[in-house]
Structure 1
């Protein structure tokens, strides 16, 4: 965990990767001025270079890199995959057919890899006034809370010990980073970045799963809760029953280390000598590794601790609803609606009716909940109910004026209605704090052209290309303006 992130040059893994579908060749390496990511698409005359600032990932499974343009923190489109011993597209990008647009790295994503993550400037969530985080890796405070008094007293004042907390608070220390579920939703008025060790993560975040889903990464806690071991042990068992955050056994020690954990509970008089003495590695049979669908080139340990995993014991049944991943989760129409919509955004359209139903109920109950309003408006927009979407966007944005995507969508509706002047002003204001957002910059350029402002349109497109040099749309629009001005629009 201490090596989960750091300065790019300290954790540099050089390599070259050519992505066949896009024709792009990526290079990660050291140059006189530091670590660098460069890429080129010779057939399209595209070449770009970025100085890498930080690495993310210990290297056990993989490693990616972060860079910054004008304070916007962005992620490399390629990552090192330990199983390949080389580079490939970052998770989620394996099927892209062109160089991806700029990939924003926000504070919520960083909090499990870095320490003292700072609040971003209002806007897209990935622009920082200074350092985006103050310490690389996972420091003591991530699990033990504020240790200042412990340090000042030279150890006489004890630091928070997760093992001595109530079960919900104890488990929250691990859950906060080691549970994703199929989706998660921040509770109204809460942010997961507010969570501190010693608190209950359920006060900030609701986790949801689709019981029939399997093959996802970061499912250890879900799976452990399904295990017979956990169900019979209850609160007596936790992640720390088997894992010591301060110690990682060497490969030669792993079998004996974890077998001892099993035998701490399985204490039958002859169990240790009679249960497969020829194979001391309990995990090889009961916790095998399996490929996962959402992170290529990675195998994940099955934490269900199945008695006979080779028989294909069921991971769930066909589901018609999402359910809380944890006991004691706060589940309201609001959280359910937002959870269902998150799944829709991931391509699971079957959840759209449930999202609409729950969000409509939540909005009627509390029209001050901007998250609900913005999401409901997006559904109306997708349905072509433009006036309904406009009305709710306007109301919801009163409480969330910094919400970039919602404001951009409202501008799109206004442009569609013919109010291009207002739409252009809105896009200009939004783009000023979200310059890494390709679609917003292109919409602004088109609006500028329609209003006859070719120079402003060119500036917007040049900004898009600074962040996304391979943007086909921005390049095409810029070529047209350079040849014939804004006459096409």
Structure 2
């Protein structure tokens, strides 16, 4: 049998329509054929790819905005079309356009969406396929939007859980890439087993990462890299989650926080592990119990019949509650006497409740309750934050990370969180490494701005820009402060930096156009408004201002 060649990175072209995704797992297939065949059927293996390979036709009208969406295929190219006539929607404004879709995300088991590109910026389309309800609908958080959201950024933090070899974005914007956003469709063998080059080159003599020999934190991190979210996830200074490799601890890259009062996953769709930590099973079994104790990463139960699926998971439960005994009875007695009329352990102990953050979706309660919860358990919204697994893993949480987590809560209107965030970040700012930490200064500036302490906010935003000249958040907010001081020239420069580098910053673009017009720069204001509408063609405020300037109803004369 010939030895497989090294994994290919695929054929890369600047035109994503001609980009050919290779199958990097094929290099493993010659020696691991059975696993290879089973794995190809899993949602992980089918988590992303070329749009044409994941084409699903769509046609529906969104009542709140009056926009009709259609996904279609023409000559092996996939398109999203959108239109609205003047008689529908809350704005009464006609709209028509289309975008070519280059990639899909989502295996289709839970859902699917698509990606498109404009000037090197990558965006998710406004609509999603929701598999449980078998419906097309708006993307999460946009179910009632009156305007079409066409600037949903696709950043490496999103891509890394749907595709392998997600590429780092460019400094100017989190959704701008030098070429393609990822090199391989789906989650590859290497995502869990590590780089295969030396293994293949040595004809198998150089072993790959042995998951069973890893410490629990490193072993579990391979799954947690994508299946741990929390209420807030804070990436450590100088780290990038796309750089994580099997054999490392994900907690060396980021800290994950939940509210102390939260019970279970609180309806969140991708946070099974922190719920599992609360289970009696995990507390009793400790490091012995991990994700793969119950789940086969190389296969899927989707192809099994319902009785086969029940038997599969029951066998996992009986590893601890079977012949080896349980906490309440001998194993043999337990199996015979514990509700023999219902052998479906999951139906009683792992209920499925509607999630609160993804429309039309459900999640399985991994708390593995003695008596299954009934109905939806809302997540805690206030109270102290705790780091997921910090005690178990022996990891420390920095003031910086905890402060940034509270700042995320403050952005949602939690005043107590704002006070706590400010205290922690001010303390963290005293450390030398804070000089290069633009995120820390961003959030301190934001908190000062919330408290109407504009001088302090301006200083913090200035420090953020000194640490990262491409920080659009700091530039946009500092511009707002400068405009309030009537320093319009400085404000224009900052807003131009923020919006030209990152067209997702629509507020910065609108503020820029308003001030450009206000200081007599009519043509500059028109260019800015047209750029807003290039990326966000349903932006009502931009369309109104553009019409006013073009018609002369708004004069852009110098003051």
- Report TM bin, short chain: over 0.9
1:256-335 alignment runs, 5 A limit: 256-267=311-322, 268-310=331-373, 320-327=383-390, 328-335=394-401
* CA distance in 2: counterparts of 1:167 and 1:315, whole angstroms: 30
Tell me if the contact between 2:156 and 2:169 (Cα under 8 Å) persists in the aligned partners: yes
Does residue 114 of the first structure (1) align with residue 163 of the second (2)?
yes
Tell me if the contact between 2:479 and 2:495 (Cα under 8 Å) persists in the aligned partners: yes
> Which contiguous aligned blocks of 4+ residues in structure 1 show a shift greater than 3 angstroms?
310-319, 346-350, 364-367
Does residue 2 of the first structure (1) align with residue 72 of the second (2)?
no
Does residue 352 of the first structure (1) align with residue 352 of the second (2)?
no
* CA distance in 2: counterparts of 1:18 and 1:35, whole angstroms: 19
Match for 2:182 among 133, 143, 155? 133
Deviations 1:410-431 (A, max 9, x none): 1121122111112212222333
* CA distance in 2: counterparts of 1:68 and 1:6, whole angstroms: 15
* CA distance in 2: counterparts of 1:113 and 1:311, whole angstroms: 31
**What secondary structure, in the 3-state scheme, does the structure 2 residue paired with 1:209 have?**
strand
**What secondary structure, in the 3-state scheme, does the structure 2 residue paired with 1:155 have?**
coil
How far 1:336 moved relative to its partner?
1.3
* CA distance in 2: counterparts of 1:312 and 1:120, whole angstroms: 41
Aligned pair in 2 of structure 1 residues 230, 316: CA closer, same or farther (>3 Å)?
Answer: farther
Match for 1:216 among 268, 271, 290? 268
Aligned pair in 2 of structure 1 residues 325, 448: CA closer, same or farther (>3 Å)?
Answer: same
1:60-459 alignment runs, 5 A limit: 60-213=109-262, 214-249=266-301, 250-252=303-305, 253-267=308-322, 268-310=331-373, 320-327=383-390, 328-366=394-432, 367-368=434-435, 369-459=437-527
Does residue 16 of the first structure (1) align with residue 59 of the second (2)?
yes
Give the stretch that moved more between structures: 358-367 or 408-417.
Answer: 358-367
Aligned pair in 2 of structure 1 residues 416, 222: CA closer, same or farther (>3 Å)?
Answer: same
Q: Gapped runs of 5+ residues in structure 1?
A: none
Does residue 470 of the first structure (1) align with residue 534 of the second (2)?
no
Give the stretch that moved more between structures: 348-357 or 35-44.
Answer: 348-357
Does residue 26 of the first structure (1) align with residue 69 of the second (2)?
yes
TM-score w.r.t. length of structure 2: 0.84
Deviations 1:59-104 (A, max 9, x none): 1111111100111000111100012212011112123222225111
* CA distance in 2: counterparts of 1:445 and 1:80, whole angstroms: 36
Tell me if the contact between 1:206 and 1:330 (Cα under 8 Å) persists in the aligned partners: no
Give the stretch that moved more between structures: 129-138 or 17-26.
Answer: 17-26
Aligned pair in 2 of structure 1 residues 316, 389: CA closer, same or farther (>3 Å)?
Answer: closer
* CA distance in 2: counterparts of 1:316 and 1:376, whole angstroms: 26
Tell me if the contact between 1:67 and 1:73 (Cα under 8 Å) persists in the aligned partners: yes
How far 1:442 moved relative to its partner?
1.8
**What secondary structure, in the 3-state scheme, does the structure 2 residue paired with 1:3 have?**
coil
Deviations 1:129-182 (A, max 9, x none): 101110111011111111111222333322212232111100111111000011
Tell me if the contact between 2:400 and 2:428 (Cα under 8 Å) persists in the aligned partners: yes
How far 1:316 moved relative to its partner?
8.8
Aligned pair in 2 of structure 1 residues 314, 417: CA closer, same or farther (>3 Å)?
Answer: closer
Deviations 1:224-272 (A, max 9, x none): 1111111011111111111110011233121111111111111212333
* CA distance in 1: counterparts of 2:406 and 2:294, whole angstroms: 34
Aligned pair in 2 of structure 1 residues 426, 217: CA closer, same or farther (>3 Å)?
Answer: same
**What secondary structure, in the 3-state scheme, does the structure 1 residue paired with 2:161 have?**
coil
Aligned pair in 2 of structure 1 residues 319, 437: CA closer, same or farther (>3 Å)?
Answer: closer
How far 1:443 moved relative to its partner?
2.1
How many residue pairs were aligned? 489
**What secondary structure, in the 3-state scheme, does the structure 1 residue paired with 2:363 have?**
strand
Give the stretch that moved more between structures: 142-151 or 93-102.
Answer: 93-102
Deviations 1:378-418 (A, max 9, x none): 11112222111111111222111111111111112112211
* CA distance in 1: counterparts of 2:450 and 2:373, whole angstroms: 44
TM-score w.r.t. length of structure 1: 0.95
Give the stretch that moved more between structures: 392-401 or 166-175.
Answer: 392-401
How far 1:4 moved relative to its partner?
0.5
Aligned pair in 2 of structure 1 residues 224, 74: CA closer, same or farther (>3 Å)?
Answer: same
Aligned pair in 2 of structure 1 residues 314, 136: CA closer, same or farther (>3 Å)?
Answer: closer
**What secondary structure, in the 3-state scheme, does the structure 2 residue paired with 1:278 have?**
coil
Tell me if the contact between 1:211 and 1:318 (Cα under 8 Å) persists in the aligned partners: no
**What secondary structure, in the 3-state scheme, does the structure 2 residue paired with 1:215 have?**
coil
Deviations 1:285-340 (A, max 9, x none): 11121111111111111111111115789999896201111133432221111001
Tell me if the contact between 1:211 and 1:316 (Cα under 8 Å) persists in the aligned partners: no
